[in-house]
Amino acid sequence: MTGKGTSLGELLAAELEPVAAGNRKTVKGFYKAFASNDTETISRVVASDLEWWFHGPPNCQHMMRTLTGKSNPSEFKFKPRNITAFADRVIVEGWRGSDGH
């Protein structure tokens, strides 16, 4: 604890929040560009060293197939359910629903 009752973890979280907020905004912009097939914006916001992790059975990995060119973007609609950012890490969760995954 610091002298005013604030923990080191709380101080670190407060310091990193602007970074996390910026990363959340970038990811939201990516998904908006992805939904409208705006490849110029996508290429501008995606870093060359971006690491994608896909979870779930292969038949549910629609985003991976779209991003690797194995399927047409118009064949897949993705609506993020939750976007969580921790400094330079961003986790985007989607789900299978009536109007998207």
pTM exceeds 0.85 for this model: no
pLDDT of 4 > 70? The answer is no
22-26, 36-40, 56-60, 74-78: least confident range: 74-78
**Two tokens, residue 47:** 């870093």
pLDDT of 38 > 80? The answer is yes
What residues does 83 pair with on adjacent strands?
A: 92
The structural domains of the chain, with segments of one domain joined by +, span 8-93
CA angle 36-49-54, nearest 5°? 65
pLDDT of 100 > 60? The answer is no
26 three-class SS: helix
- Res. 25 pLDDT band, cuts 50 70 90: very high
pLDDT of 22 > 80? The answer is yes
What residues does 86 pair with on adjacent strands?
A: 89
In the predicted model, what is the mean pLDDT of the chain? 79
Structure confidence by residue, pLDDT tens digits, 41-70: 888 888 888 787 877 787 777 777 777 778
